[in-house]
Structure 1
Amino acid sequence: MYSIVRQQLLRAGLRARPGMASLHTSAALRDLSKFTMPAMSPTMQDGGIAAWRKNEGESFNSGDVLLEIETDKATMEVEATDDGVMAKILVAAGAKNVPVNSTIAIVGEEGDDLSGADALAEEAKNESASAASQAEESKEDKPKEDKEDKPKEQPKEQPKEAPKEQPKEAPKEEKPSNKPQDRVFATPAAKRIALERGVPLREIKGSGPEGRILQEDVEKYKPQGGAPGGGAAAAAVPAETYTDEPLSNMRRVIASRLTESKSTVPHYYVTFDIEMDRVNQLREVFNRAAKESAKGDAEKEKAAKLSVNDFIVKAAAIALKQVPEVNSAFHGEYVRQHHVQDISMAVATPTGLITPILRNCGAIGLAEIGAQSKALAKKARDGKLKPDEYQGGTFTISNMGMMGTSHFTAIINPPQSCILALGTTEARLVPDDSEKGFRVAHFMKATISADHRVVDGATAARWMQAFKAAVENPLSFML
């Protein structure tokens, strides 16, 4: 059954590594094996189990979907590559933050003796508990030493300092506590929440090691009716005015990566005003022709209809060909310049932002770009993107013009060196050779965010000039 996991990893572009799916020492006798959480992408460290498609005791065939795994970007199906039977499920559907390589089920082959599944499951649980305990001990060793040392030293030094400090501190500290010099041990999260809610930590009995106050203790705290000062009574009011939503895997990764990008990548910005009238006119001509060819078929007409964003993507690809320095990525000791224009397209989903990739945009036409955009956007919103559909882009476009945004700057998606932010189209009066002496034109603000380690200011300006020329002369797309 090890081949099932190995094939899952090969499908995800990875090779099986030692420990990812190890057979029990007596599995040869019981014909059972441990099924571990696979890594569905190179950066995946943990994931959630969205659903099990096979129940305990149920057999499966090669190609059957065993379960759905929720990664940081999408929900992916895991298929069986061999026939077998689901002996026991260890991690239930809905579980979050399941570490890669941890055992999630026991599997066997049709006709195997499944009586050893419970024992093998217990062994897997013990291994997981042991690993978690060791990790926790390594984290707690240093804090525990601090907590043990400091309280022991205080009684020795206290008599010398007590006469000086007590007269000043007594009026403030005597009310909430009879021991003003006692330290309150609490986790950083507990202290932060207590400060936000106005909860007095001295009135809380900690449930952590050595009485340490945990976040859960603060959240469960209920003030007594006669609490002094009214602070505790007031603390109950804010708790009812908000809801804490746990971070999804996607939102957690977005927070981490964008914080790293903004704090480590030297961003700078170049903005151009781009006239959109010719794009709008050509788009209208194309869409009118698509409507006529569809002959009343609404679905066919919708599929063939071009958006302004399709023209933007093609213009960006042309500019990347002309100024290839922008089509680069920073890799620490070297800069990689890409020879194809794989453009990431920012798509908002209920769980966060994701960037599916339109491949080789410099070599395909507007119709193909439009078809890919629609298909990828739908898969992104449905959470069905595969890793190769959102990993590996060379340049990103974020378009918020349809939301009425006039202008904004975007955060670079490393290791890419640039991202283009687009606002809405606005009407302006511009000089003209007509009798009126002016005409109404429609302009869009486009801003490129560039990594100064890779792209100099003059290079970014040259790219923007090439992009502007392509958008303002869309017939050049046909050449």
Structure 2
Amino acid sequence: MLSGSLVRNVRHGIAVTKSLQVSGGTITAKRANLYPLISRMARFYATKKEYPPHTILNMPALSPTMTAGNIGEFQKSIGDKIEPGDVLCEIETDKAQMDFEQQDEGYLAKILIESGAKDVAVGKPVAVTVENAEDVEAFKDFSIEDSAPETTETPKEQPKEAKEEKADVTAEAETAKTETKEATAVHDDRIFASPIAKKMAEERGVNLSQIRGSGPNGRIIKVDVENFKPERPAAPSNKAAAAATSPAASAKDAAAAGTYEDLPLSNMRKIIASRLTESKQINPHYYVSVAIDVEKIVRLRTALNSIADGRYKLSVNDLVIKAVTAALREVPEVNSAWMGDFIRQHKNVDISMAVATPSGLITPVIRNAHSLGLREISNMAKDYGHRARANKLKPEEYQGGTFTISNLGMYPVDQFTAIINPPQACILAVGTVSENVIPDKTSEKGFKVAPIMKCTLSADHRVVDGAMAARFTTALKKIMENPLELLL
């Protein structure tokens, strides 16, 4: 809230901009006795028309990567009282759906952006609130234009290019006057042109003999070269044109005859496209694969679930997360991030778990996974997966992470590679469990049929060398093929 003296100043017509500095939709108080103001609100703008004291509510940045958001249904109507903590509307960010909560009490005077609006830029005015209910009526015709501060236009400085152009023309005119006496005759074997015109013609590949000069005694100047348009070759006959364009026209007609649907991009899909394209272009990816016999880990899962008594239900993915956590503790170099000028090696293991949602991929983070048991990991993974698909995750639940796991084991995908999630150095792609014939020295036949899971590590070579990646995948294989080590 503003101090009482400042509010009185506003009501008495004193310019508020003397006490507040508006920058990018945020407010910075210049007086030490003012309370801090939240960045998503612009307090008491000086506007082009006279309005009672009011607050402009701007589109907030609800995540570090958010540049725009979609506005859901408004929970308040014009004239409704707003208490601190009340939800004004829902906002769909690039990762989730979040509530736009209010910090101050007041009354909703005007909705500037209606429900359902898409790609509303961060900082754009969304609504107006007032302190007194009797001031609501004054904002009936209030618009976004009225929310902009009134500015005094100053004469624009002449562009640098215009100055240079003017200087060139002046210099050329003076040169033309000086050389008029010398260049009084035009010979058949010589073309008179200014130095600037000659240089420009050479750069553009223009033959000066094709240009008619407008300078003194027919001299070619800069303007003549700029205005010169070479003659175009004669257009082909209608039959020839039709023959030449018929293949393209046929292809266009064929495309038009096809059936397709153009799907709009969600904010999440835009962010995914931007970040993963950047990752693939900048991070030097390489891949290390390993085939793991998961017979013992499948048996362990079955045994533990049989005694769960409804307290938990472990999945193979839960055991993979626990095994990856243990392997990262053995090879901590893989649990690192590229920070530009240095490499950050994390002491805690925060596993980013890739979850597919209708609008795109999101990676909720199981924090301090190294200190959690299988039951805790399982319950957290299920909760995050459910809320991720419902767009109900909080920013702190999907930001950060030190290592990512992408598991397509629920699909018939034997093996795949994944793109690193920067600034992390690695991501593990987990395929399905399939029956394979493998060597077995203990068997009379010399082989056996075993459930095999193929895992592929994508690593950033700036952080993790090949030997490090090999040590990690070896440790992971050892732990998953002897899952009782997870108890140690």
TM-score by length of 2: 0.72
Of 318-327 and 101-110, deviating more is: 101-110
Task: Give the secondary-structure state (helix, strand or coil) at the position aligned to 1:432.
Answer: coil
**Aligned with residue 105 of structure 1, among 127, 130, 151:** 127
Aligned 8 A contact 2:125 2:144 in 1: no
Q: What code does the residue aligned with 2:45 have? A: H
Match of 1:25 in 2: 46
CA positional deviation for 1:264: 0.7
Distance 1:411 1:86, change over 3 A: same
For residues 431-461 of structure 1, the C-alpha deviation after alignment (integer angstroms, 9 at most, x for no partner) is 2324444322111111100001111110111
Q: What code does the residue aligned with 1:309 have? A: N
Match of 2:358 in 1: 350
Aligned 8 A contact 2:269 2:360 in 1: yes
Give the 5 Å matches for 1:113-124.
113-118=135-140, 120-124=142-146
Match of 1:60 in 2: 82
CA RMSD of aligned residues (A): 3.4
Match of 2:62 in 1: 40
2:259 matches 1:259: no
Q: If each structure's helix is expressed as a fraction of its own residues, which one has the higher value?
A: 1
Q: What code does the residue aligned with 1:84 have? A: G
Q: What code does the residue aligned with 1:252 have? A: K
Match of 2:332 in 1: 324
Aligned 8 A contact 2:53 2:130 in 1: yes
Give the 5 Å matches for 1:266-285.
266-285=284-303
Gaps of 5+ in 2: 4-25, 27-35, 163-199, 205-222
CA positional deviation for 1:330: 0.7
Distance 1:122 1:428, change over 3 A: closer
Give the 5 Å matches for 1:234-249.
235-239=252-256, 240-249=258-267
Distance 1:339 1:449, change over 3 A: same
CA positional deviation for 1:153: 7.3
For residues 362-419 of structure 1, the C-alpha deviation after alignment (integer angstroms, 9 at most, x for no partner) is 0000000000000000111001111111110110000112111011110000000000
Alpha-carbon distance in 2 for matches of 1:2, 1:37: 21
Alpha-carbon distance in 1 for matches of 2:416, 2:251: 40
Task: Give the secondary-structure state (helix, strand or coil) at the position aligned to 1:91.
Answer: coil
Match of 2:447 in 1: 438
Task: Give the secondary-structure state (helix, strand or coil) at the position aligned to 1:449.
Answer: strand
Gaps of 5+ in 1: 4-8, 10-14, 142-148, 178-199, 201-227, 295-299
Q: What code does the residue aligned with 2:316 have? A: V
Task: Give the secondary-structure state (helix, strand or coil) at the position aligned to 1:72.
Answer: coil
Who wins on radius of gyration, i.e. which is larger?
2
2:430 matches 1:422: yes
Aligned 8 A contact 2:44 2:53 in 1: no
Distance 1:126 1:471, change over 3 A: same
Task: Give the secondary-structure state (helix, strand or coil) at the position aligned to 1:42.
Answer: coil
2:229 matches 1:170: no
Distance 1:417 1:155, change over 3 A: closer
2:66 matches 1:49: no
Alpha-carbon distance in 2 for matches of 1:335, 1:347: 27
Aligned 8 A contact 2:110 2:142 in 1: no
CA positional deviation for 1:114: 1.5
Q: How many residue pairs get matched?
A: 388
Alpha-carbon distance in 1 for matches of 2:288, 2:250: 52
Task: Give the secondary-structure state (helix, strand or coil) at the position aligned to 2:307.
Answer: helix
CA positional deviation for 1:18: 6.6
Aligned 8 A contact 2:112 2:144 in 1: no
Distance 1:425 1:114, change over 3 A: same
Distance 1:477 1:28, change over 3 A: farther
CA positional deviation for 1:65: 1.5
Match of 2:390 in 1: 382
2:478 matches 1:461: no
Give the 5 Å matches for 1:268-307.
268-290=286-308, 293-294=309-310, 304-307=312-315
Match of 2:407 in 1: 399
Alpha-carbon distance in 2 for matches of 1:340, 1:464: 19
CA positional deviation for 1:2: 8.0
TM-score by length of 1: 0.73
Q: What code does the residue aligned with 1:171 have? A: P
Task: Give the secondary-structure state (helix, strand or coil) at the position aligned to 1:458.
Answer: helix
Aligned 8 A contact 1:30 1:114 in 2: no
Aligned 8 A contact 2:289 2:454 in 1: yes
